Amino acid sequence: MQEDYNIDYYLKKIENGNYNKKRHKVKAKKTNKNFKKTLKDTIVGVLLYLAIVEGLHAAYISSYYNLSYKDFLYYSLPHKVEQVEVNEFNDQINKYIWENNNIGETEKEVISNYYNESLKDQAEYFNNTDTLKKVQNLKIRYQYELSNGYLDDSRGFAGTCFNNYINMLSTVEFNDATKGVLIHEFNHILQENMKYTFIQEAITEENANKDTYRQERVMVGMLCYLVDKDAMLDYSYSGEDVLITDELCKIISNKLEGKKLLHYAEKSHNIYINKIVKYQHDIDLNVVNLESRNLAKSIVEQKECFKKFVVMYSKFYQAKYNKDMMDDPYLAACTDFLLGTNCFNTSFYDPIYLQMTSVQKNFLEDENEFKIDYVYNDGENCIPFSVMIYPDNKKALDLAKNVMDEWADTYLNNKVVRRYSK
């Protein structure tokens, strides 16, 4: 007799455990299997889409740069240049310089020579995709016009923020006087925009072996005692602040301390380029007499930044080396140069007459020797001269002192110059 299948019947079946468990399990398995299949199809679809997009992107880049597929793999993928690729990458850079129709033949020769002599060894720090694009699209613009009162041909500006232009001020064509500006600004084209521009200027000047941005070069030379030079170069071409700040945090863990150190250096640089240089040019042009007062105030303001930088630097040096920074002849000379003190000159001559005008050391190389440039000025005589210092060689250091003694006898006619005791 057929049973009456009502709700009570099913409840009773469930209560007695006689319902069809197998059927429910099969249904659940089928549902899970369908979900997994859908998920798998979705993942495959997404991966296929990404592959197509990357393929189209690769085709665009290789076509844009006129690269073969092999060259594309070498040069156009977004990564830094590996050491094994450096030679081929440098060849590609030179090729793009000479194939660039936006610049003249003389400029090409100057830029190519400068790259091969000074920059090719730094290629491992470049972002190869960006660098190739910058060189290929490089343009030079000559502007014979005033720019904040500047009338000389020793100034320019450049960078990707200026649409990859090198802008040469106060001249209508390339000449020997603008060569130094051209190679300086070309180096900036290869660099990235960065927060701490004093590092950018110092490295650029060191590469070009020029004698400007002296305070910036001294401060970066000092920083290379705290931060590895590779991190400095890496920062110069990437603009990533953490490359510097993280290194300083290894010395003093408080990140704010490292940022203060860099801030004082950057502020001193900004005072120089935005105030001191402008006021100096305005005075040269006899714009207004008031600028001489503004210049004096700006110099004092910059000196305060130098003081704060040196004080903060001494904390980092002490923390890293557990000794006084003044025990190092180079750092003592740098301090003397920035502050106008007698940290280094204690065994030389009274800086009332003998002024230190620069401290030069190749901080991108592992060298200890450095050069100090002086000028003797007593109101009647103004005589520049230089002395090489070899800190690791006491005999050489004593010899440098003897050179200064002979210089005084020769140029000052045995004029009495006060000495400081040791």
Note the pLDDT of residue 54.
61
Note the pLDDT of residue 368.
81
Phi, psi of 329 (to 5 degrees): -55, -40
Contact 364, 205 (CB under 8 A): no
Cα–Cα dist 222/337, whole Å: 12
Q: What is the pLDDT of residues 67-80, one digit of tens each?
A: 444 444 444 444 45
Note the pLDDT of residue 15.
53
Q: What is the pLDDT of residues 168-211, one digit of tens each?
A: 776 677 777 778 888 888 898 888 888 999 999 999 999 988 77
Tokens of 202: 């110092």
* Closest of 354, 356, 323, 325 to residue 338, by C-alpha: 356
Note the pLDDT of residue 181.
84
Indicate the pairing of strand 382-389 with strand 165-169: unpaired
Quickly list H helices, 329-393.
329-339
Q: Which residues pair with 127 in a beta bridge?
A: 80
Cα–Cα dist 132/128, whole Å: 6
Cα–Cα dist 54/103, whole Å: 33
* Closest of 344, 375, 342 to residue 357, by C-alpha: 375
Note the pLDDT of residue 175.
77
Indicate the pairing of strand 165-169 with strand 139-143: parallel
Note the pLDDT of residue 420.
29
pLDDT by 10s per residue, the chain, length 422: 444 445 555 455 545 555 454 444 444 455 555 656 676 677 767 777 666 766 665 555 455 444 444 444 444 444 455 554 788 888 989 999 999 998 889 999 999 999 999 998 998 888 777 888 888 888 888 876 554 444 444 456 655 445 678 877 766 777 777 788 888 888 988 888 889 999 999 999 999 887 789 999 999 999 999 999 899 999 999 889 999 999 999 999 999 999 999 999 999 999 998 888 877 766 555 555 556 678 888 888 999 999 999 999 999 999 999 999 988 888 988 998 898 876 665 444 444 566 778 888 888 887 788 888 877 776 777 777 777 777 766 555 555 555 556 655 555 544 433 332 22
Cα–Cα dist 262/330, whole Å: 20
Contact 226, 251 (CB under 8 A): yes
Note the pLDDT of residue 26.
46
Note the pLDDT of residue 363.
87
Cα–Cα dist 362/125, whole Å: 19
Note the pLDDT of residue 307.
94
265, 390, 411, 413, 422 from 405: Cα distances, Å: 35, 17, 10, 11, 16
164 alpha carbon, distance to own chain's centre:
18
Phi, psi of 40 (to 5 degrees): -60, -45
